[in-house]
Amino acid sequence: GPSPVKVTVTGAAGQIGYALLFRIASGAMLGPDTPVRLSLLEITPALKAAEGTAMELDDCAFPLLAGIDITDDARSAFDGTSVALLVGARPRTAGMERGDLLEANGGIFKPQGEAINAGAADDVRILVVGNPANTNALIARTHAPDVPADRWTAMMRLDHNRALTQVARRLDAPVADITRMTVWGNHSATQYPDVSNARVAGTPVRDRVDQEWLESTFIPTVAKRGAAIIDARGASSAASAANAAIDHVHDWVLGTRDGDWVSAGIVSDGSYGIPEGLVAGFPVTSSGGSFQVVQGLEIDDFSRRRIDASVAELADEQAAIRSLGLI
C-alpha cells in the first residue's frame, strides 16, 4: 500500500490531543486509504502522559496506524512531517497581560517554526490550534521562510461549525442543509460569523433571519461559545476542537464540497481589504490540496465594520509581537 504520512501533534498529552489522536489514527482526517505515522511532541514533564496515550492508541489496533514516536525535541518531531497540528500553547492565566501571553507563546512558536523550516517534508501543511492561534501562526511562519505562505493556517473551523449549528437550530433545518457560512477575522471574541451569503437548502439564510437576531443573539452566541462551554463543562472545548481540526485538514487535503465553502485562518493576500500577511479567517474552498479565497462576495456596511474591527485586533497583535522582537 501507500507509504505512511507523518503527522505531528504538539501538546499531544493535553485534552485536545486526547480527542484528536484517535481520530487521526482511525483515518478520519486523511481518509481510509492513507496510513499515518504519528509524532507526538510534548514538554518533558508531559512525556509520560503522552506515552500513556500512545499505549491506548496501540490498544485500538488501528489498521492505518503505522507507528508512534514521542519526543520533547521539536527538530525530531517535525523532521519529515507532512501535517503539523500545533495544539500545545501557553494558556492565559489570571492577571497575565497580553504582552506576557504573546511572549510566552513566542517562546514556543518561534522554535517550532524554525524546526518546521529545517526539516519538514516539502508538502508540509500546518494548522495552528493553540491560542492566540492566528498570531501564533504568524510567529511560527516568520521563522520558517522556506515554507510557502499557503501552507500556514490557523483554526477558525470550530467557530464555523458552531455558526452552522446556531443557524440550523434557528431555522429548524438539518445542519447539513446550511452552506456558505463564513467566519472572518480573529479566533477571539471579535470574530465575525457572517451569514450574508449563507444558504439553507439552497435559499438565502438572510431572508429568514432578522438583523436583531444576528446582532444580539447569533454573533455573541458563536463568539462566546468557548466561555459557555467552560462554564458548563468546567473545562474548555476539547472534542469539538479536535473535530474541527480533523474537518479543517480533511477538507484542505481532500477538498471542500461542490457549491459550499468553509472558514480557515490563512495568510492574507490582501483580499477583502485585509492587510497582506495577517493570518485571518476567510471563506475558502480547497481543491488539489490548497485553499483558495472565495472571491467576489459583496460586503455590506455592517459586515465591513465587523471585519475591520476583528482585523484591527489582529493588526494590534502583529504590532505587539513585532515590538517584542518575536517577528
Q: Which residue is nearest to ligand NAX (CB)?
A: 14
Q: At its nearest, how many Å lie between ligand NAX and the CB of residue 272?
A: 21
**Number of residues near ligand NAX (by CB under 6 A):** 28
**Residue 281, interface with ligand NAX (CB under 6 A)?**
no
* Least distance to ligand NAX, CB of residue 301, Å: 28
To the question of whether residue 14 is assigned a binding role by annotation, the answer is yes
Q: Which three cell numbers stand for residue 307?
A: 471585519
> Residue 187 catalytic?
yes
- 264 lines the binding site for ligand NAX (CB under 6 A): no
Q: Applying CB under 6 A, does 209 fall inside the site for ligand NAX? A: no
Nearer to ligand NAX, 43 or 175 (CB): 43
- 135 part of the interface to ligand NAX, by CB under 6 A: no
* Residue 28 contacts ligand NAX per CB under 6 A: no
C-alpha cell at 287: 481543491
Q: Which of 143, 187, 248, 250 is catalytic?
A: 187
Cell matching residue 44:
518533558
Q: Rule CB under 6 A: choose which of 37, 125, 143, 187 binds ligand NAX.
A: 187
Nearer to ligand NAX, 19 or 167 (CB): 19
User: Rounded to whole angstroms, how far apart are CA atoms 203 and 320?
Assistant: 43
236 is an interface residue for ligand NAX by CB under 6 A: yes
Partnered with residue 40 across adjacent β-strands are: 9, 70
Q: Which of 5, 6, 14, 243 binds ligand NAX (CB under 6 A)?
A: 14
Out of 5, 6, 11, 167, the only residue in the binding site for ligand NAX (CB under 6 A) is 11
Q: For the segment 149-168, give every residue that binds ligand NAX (CB under 6 A).
A: 155, 158
318 is in an annotated binding site: no
Task: Note whether 227 and 235 are within 8 A (CB).
Answer: no
Q: How far is the CB of 236 from ligand NAX (least distance, A)?
A: 5
Which of residues 47 and 66 has its CB atom nearest to ligand NAX in the complex? 47
Q: Is the dihedral of CA 292, 286, 151, 247 positive or negative?
A: positive
The angle at the Cα of 77, spanning 287 to 243, to the nearest 5 degrees, equals: 45
Backbone φ and ψ for 38, nearest 5 degrees, come out as: -90, 135
For the purposes of burial, counting CB atoms within 10 Å of the CB of 76, is it exposed (0-12), middle (13-18) or buried (19 or more)? Answer: middle
Binding range to ligand NAX, per CB under 6 A, among 58-66, 233-241, 271-279, 299-307:
233-241
Cβ partners under 8 Å of residue 158, min gap 6: 187, 237, 240, 241, 243, 244
What minimum distance in Å lies between the beta carbon of 87 and ligand NAX? 5
Residues at the site binding ligand NAX, with contacts judged by CB under 6 A: 10-11, 13-17, 41-43, 46, 87-89, 91, 108, 129-131, 133, 155, 158, 187, 226, 236-238, 241
* Enzyme catalytic residues: 187
Binding site membership for NAD(+): which residues? Answer: 11-17, 105, 112, 129-131
Binding site membership for substrate: which residues? Answer: 92, 98, 131, 162
Binding site membership: which residues? Answer: 11-17, 92, 98, 105, 112, 129-131, 162
